[in-house]
Structure 1
Amino acid sequence: MSETKPNKRFVFLLLEEFSQLPFTCAVETLRHANRYTGRLIYDWILVGETGETARASNTISFNLNADLIETKRDDVIVVCGGINIKENTTAPVINWLRKEARKGVQIGAICTAPYVLAKAGLLDGKRCTIHWENLDSFQEDFPELDLQKTVFAVDGNRFTAAGGVSSIDLMLSIIGTDISQDASNWVSDQLIYNTARTERDGQRLSIPTRIGVRHPKLANVIKMMEGNIEEPISPSMLAQEVGMSTRQLERLFRRYLDRSPKRYYMELRLQKARNLLMQTDMTVINVALACGFTSPSHFSKCYRAQYDTTPYRERGGPISG
Structure 2
Amino acid sequence: MDPIYAPNKEHYDIGFVLLPGFSLIAFSSALEPLRMANHLADRQLYTWHLVSRDGCPVRSSSGLEMAVDCAMEEELSLDLVLVCAGVDVQHYCDRDTLGWLRRLARRRIPLGGVCTGGYVLAQAGILDGYSCTLHWEHISSIHEALLFPAVTFTPQLFVIDRDRYTCSGGIAPLDMMLTLIGRQQGLALAEAIAEEFIHERIREVGDRQRTPLRVRLGRTHPKLEELATLMEANLQEPLCLDELARYADLSRRQVERLFQRYVGCPPLKYYMELRLVRARLLLRQTHMPITDVALACGFISPPHFTKCYHDRFGHSPSRERVRRSAREGGTASGEVRPDAPRVEEV
The TM-score, its normalising length taken from structure 1, stands at 0.94
Q: Hey, what does 2:195 align to over in structure 1?
A: 189
Separation (CA, whole Å) in 1 of partners of 2:233 and 2:211: 16
Please tell me the residue identity of whatever aligns with 2:300. Answer: T
Note if contact 1:73-1:103 (Cα within 8 Å) is conserved in structure 2: no
The secondary structure found in structure 1 opposite 2:89 is: coil
Check if 1:90 corresponds to 2:94.
Answer: yes
Separation (CA, whole Å) in 2 of partners of 1:18 and 1:142: 22
How far the C-alpha of 1:192 sits from its partner, in A, is 2.1
Q: Hey, what does 1:297 align to over in structure 2?
A: 303
Q: Hey, what does 1:250 align to over in structure 2?
A: 256
Separation (CA, whole Å) in 2 of partners of 1:143 and 1:313: 30
How far the C-alpha of 1:13 sits from its partner, in A, is 0.6
Identity %: 39
Separation (CA, whole Å) in 1 of partners of 2:282 and 2:118: 17
The secondary structure found in structure 2 opposite 1:198 is: coil
Q: Hey, what does 1:218 align to over in structure 2?
A: 224
- Which of 69-78 and 149-158 deviates more? 69-78
Q: Hey, what does 2:3 align to over in structure 1?
A: none
Count of residues paired in the alignment:
319
Q: Hey, what does 1:235 align to over in structure 2?
A: 241
Check if 1:266 corresponds to 2:268.
Answer: no
Q: Hey, what does 1:116 align to over in structure 2?
A: 120
> Where in structure 2 are there 5+ consecutive unaligned residues?
1-6, 328-341
Q: Hey, what does 1:107 align to over in structure 2?
A: 111
The secondary structure found in structure 2 opposite 1:199 is: coil
Please tell me the residue identity of whatever aligns with 1:272. Answer: R
Q: Hey, what does 2:158 align to over in structure 1?
A: 152
Note if contact 1:273-1:291 (Cα within 8 Å) is conserved in structure 2: yes
Separation (CA, whole Å) in 2 of partners of 1:42 and 1:293: 52
How far the C-alpha of 1:297 sits from its partner, in A, is 2.0
Q: Hey, what does 2:215 align to over in structure 1?
A: 209
- Extract structure 1 runs of 4+ deviating beyond 6 A: none
Q: Hey, what does 1:128 align to over in structure 2?
A: 132
Offset from partner CA, 1:131-171 (integer Å, 9 cap, x none): 12322113333355322211110001101011211111111
Check if 1:16 corresponds to 2:20.
Answer: yes
Please, which of 292, 307, 316 is the counterpart of residue 313 of structure 2? 307
Separation (CA, whole Å) in 1 of partners of 2:75 and 2:212: 41
Separation (CA, whole Å) in 1 of partners of 2:315 and 2:150: 33
Please tell me the residue identity of whatever aligns with 1:153. Answer: V
Separation (CA, whole Å) in 2 of partners of 1:76 and 1:50: 20
Separation (CA, whole Å) in 2 of partners of 1:62 and 1:184: 27
The secondary structure found in structure 2 opposite 1:17 is: coil
Separation (CA, whole Å) in 2 of partners of 1:101 and 1:22: 23
The secondary structure found in structure 2 opposite 1:87 is: helix
The secondary structure found in structure 2 opposite 1:193 is: coil
> Where in structure 1 are there 5+ consecutive unaligned residues?
none
Please, which of 166, 171, 176 is the counterpart of residue 177 of structure 2? 171
Please tell me the residue identity of whatever aligns with 1:57. Answer: S
Separation (CA, whole Å) in 2 of partners of 1:267 and 1:46: 41
Q: Hey, what does 1:31 align to over in structure 2?
A: 35
Note if contact 1:4-1:37 (Cα within 8 Å) is conserved in structure 2: no
Greater RCO structure (CA 8 Å; 6+ sep): 2
Please tell me the residue identity of whatever aligns with 1:209. Answer: V
Separation (CA, whole Å) in 1 of partners of 2:246 and 2:129: 39
The secondary structure found in structure 2 opposite 1:186 is: helix
Q: Hey, what does 1:65 align to over in structure 2?
A: 69
Separation (CA, whole Å) in 2 of partners of 1:162 and 1:191: 19
Separation (CA, whole Å) in 2 of partners of 1:299 and 1:219: 27
The secondary structure found in structure 2 opposite 1:108 is: strand
Separation (CA, whole Å) in 2 of partners of 1:12 and 1:96: 14
Offset from partner CA, 1:260-283 (integer Å, 9 cap, x none): 221111110110111111112222
Note if contact 1:79-1:110 (Cα within 8 Å) is conserved in structure 2: yes
The secondary structure found in structure 1 opposite 2:309 is: helix
Note if contact 2:17-2:83 (Cα within 8 Å) is conserved in structure 1: yes
Note if contact 1:285-1:296 (Cα within 8 Å) is conserved in structure 2: yes
Note if contact 1:5-1:179 (Cα within 8 Å) is conserved in structure 2: no
Q: RMSD in angstroms over aligned alpha carbons?
A: 1.8
- Which of 11-20 and 189-198 deviates more? 189-198
The TM-score, its normalising length taken from structure 2, stands at 0.87
